[in-house]
Amino acid sequence: MLSVVMTTNSSVQLSWMTGGNGGSRILGFVLYHRRHHSVDWASRRLSAGNRSHVISNLRCGSEYSFYLQAFNRLGEGESSNVVHAATNGSGLVKLS
């Protein structure tokens, strides 16, 4: 299960618990994220020992979606639940 731990103006911290591994040791994770209304998912490969990760350099006051997949020598597992989070702040401010 994937969950949001904390948000800042430019980052989101996520954590997860693993389920079954199909009898083969987990080799790592792929964490996917995208900004609200974006079509393309960005991905980051993470080591097998990770159970949390901070995605940084995000836009202030923006909504994001995240999901995770574990992988082993047999391939990628099922996708986790999709979680949504918004970075803190109100985004760009128009100066007059």
CATH code, domain with 56: 2.60.40.10
Report if residue 95 sits inside a domain: no
**pLDDT of res. 84:** 96
Report if residue 35 sits inside a domain: yes
Domain count of the chain?
1
**pLDDT of res. 89:** 86
**pLDDT of res. 74:** 86
**pLDDT of res. 96:** 58
Rounded CA-CA distance 86/78 in Å is 25
Domain of 34, in residue numbers: 2-86
**pLDDT of res. 19:** 76
**pLDDT of res. 93:** 58
Report if residue 47 sits inside a domain: yes
Q: What is the mean pLDDT of each run of 10 residues along the chain (96 residues)?
A: 95 90 86 94 95 95 95 90 93 59
What is the chain written as a DSSP string? -EEEEEE-SS-EEEEE-----TTS---EEEEEEEETT-SPPEEEEEETT-SEEEE-SPPTT-EEEEEEEEEETTEE------EEEE-SS-------
Q: Which residue in the block uniquely carries the two structure tokens 């209304």? A: 37
Report if residue 96 sits inside a domain: no
